[in-house]
Amino acid sequence: MKTISSLLLFLSIGVVGIAQSVKNVEDYQLTLNVLLPGIIYEKGLSQNSTITAEATMGFGYRESDFVESGFGIYPIGRLQYRYYYNFDRRLAKGKNITGNTGNYIAPTIAIQGGKAIIGDLDYVSDYFGGIGAVYGLQRTSQKGLQFRFEFGPGYFFDEFESNFGIFLALKLGWVVGRK
C-alpha cells in the first residue's frame, strides 16, 4: 500500500507542478478499444504530458491436465502519467503528432478483478494489482484509428503473494469525435 501511495503522490506532483501554455498533446481525447472492449480517457496536462484513465477487459485462459481448464474475461482499471518525449523530433522531421502520436514513458498502476464476468475461470484472489513503468508508442491516423503498444517492468500483487513481471499491452481503437 505504501508503494501505491508513493506513486499517487508522484502523479499528483506531476499534475500540479507542470504548467505551460503551449501544448503538443491534445487537450483531451476519448478512445474506444476494439480488440478487448474498453474506453480510455487521456487529458493533456502540459506541453508533452497527459494523464490517462482506462477501463478495459482482460482475457485469461488455462488448459491443464491437473486442474479444470477454463477461460475468463475480467475488468481492468489503469492509470498512467505519460510523458511524450519525441514530439520535437517528430515535428522537425515533418511527422504527425496529432492524436498524441508519439513515444512515451509512463508510471502505471493497474488493478484487475479476480472473478470472471464472462467464463468459468475464477482466481482464488479477489483482485490483482500492478505498479510499474512502461515504454509505449501510440499512433493515431487522421481518420481516428489508433494503435498502441507498451511494455515495461512491474511489481504485481494480490492478497496472498507478490512478484515482479512485465506489463504488456497491445491496443487497437478509435478516437471518438476525431475530425
The per-residue pLDDT for 27 is 93
Band of residue 165 on the pLDDT scale cut at 50, 70, 90? very high
Q: Report how far residue 108's alpha carbon sits from residue 78's, in angstroms, rounded to the nearest whole number.
A: 7
Nearest Cα residue to 160 out of 132, 116, 130, 127: 127
Contact predicate 132/154, CB 8 Å: yes
The span from the CA of 144 to the CA of 175, in Å, is 5
Q: Residue 66 has what pLDDT?
A: 73
Return the higher-pLDDT residue of 126 and 7: 126
pLDDT digits (tens, 9 = 90+) for 120-146: 887 788 899 999 999 999 999 989 999
- Give the max Cα distance, the chain: 60
**CATH number for 85:** 2.40.160
What is the average pLDDT value for the chain, to the nearest integer?
86
What is the Cα–Cα distance from 95 to 66, expressed in whole angstroms?
53
Query: Residue 127 CB: number of other CB atoms within 10 A?
Result: 15
Query: What is the Cα–Cα distance from 123 to 92, expressed in whole angstroms?
Result: 49
Please, are residues 39 and 77 in contact by the beta-carbon 8 Å criterion? no
Q: For 156, list phi and psi in degrees, rounded to 5.
A: -115, 145
Q: How many domains does the chain have?
A: 1
The beta strand positions in 2-101, using DSSP E, are 28-33, 38-44, 49-62, 70-84
- Does residue 26 contact residue 99 with C-beta atoms inside 8 Å? yes
| pLDDT greater at residue 60 or residue 32 | 32
Band the pLDDT of 20: cuts 50, 70, 90. Answer: very low
Q: Which three cell numbers stand for residue 87?
A: 514530439
Query: How far apart, in Å, are the Cα atoms of 15 and each of 18, 49, 134?
Result: 6, 9, 18
Q: Which domain holds residue 104?
A: 2-176
Q: Is residue 19's pLDDT more than 50?
A: no
What is the value of pTM for the model shown? 0.79
* Model confidence band, residue 6 (pLDDT cutoffs 50, 70, 90): low
Among residues of the chain, what percentage have pLDDT more than 90?
Answer: 57
Single out the residue of 121, 114, 122, 118 nearest to residue 157, CA to CA: 114
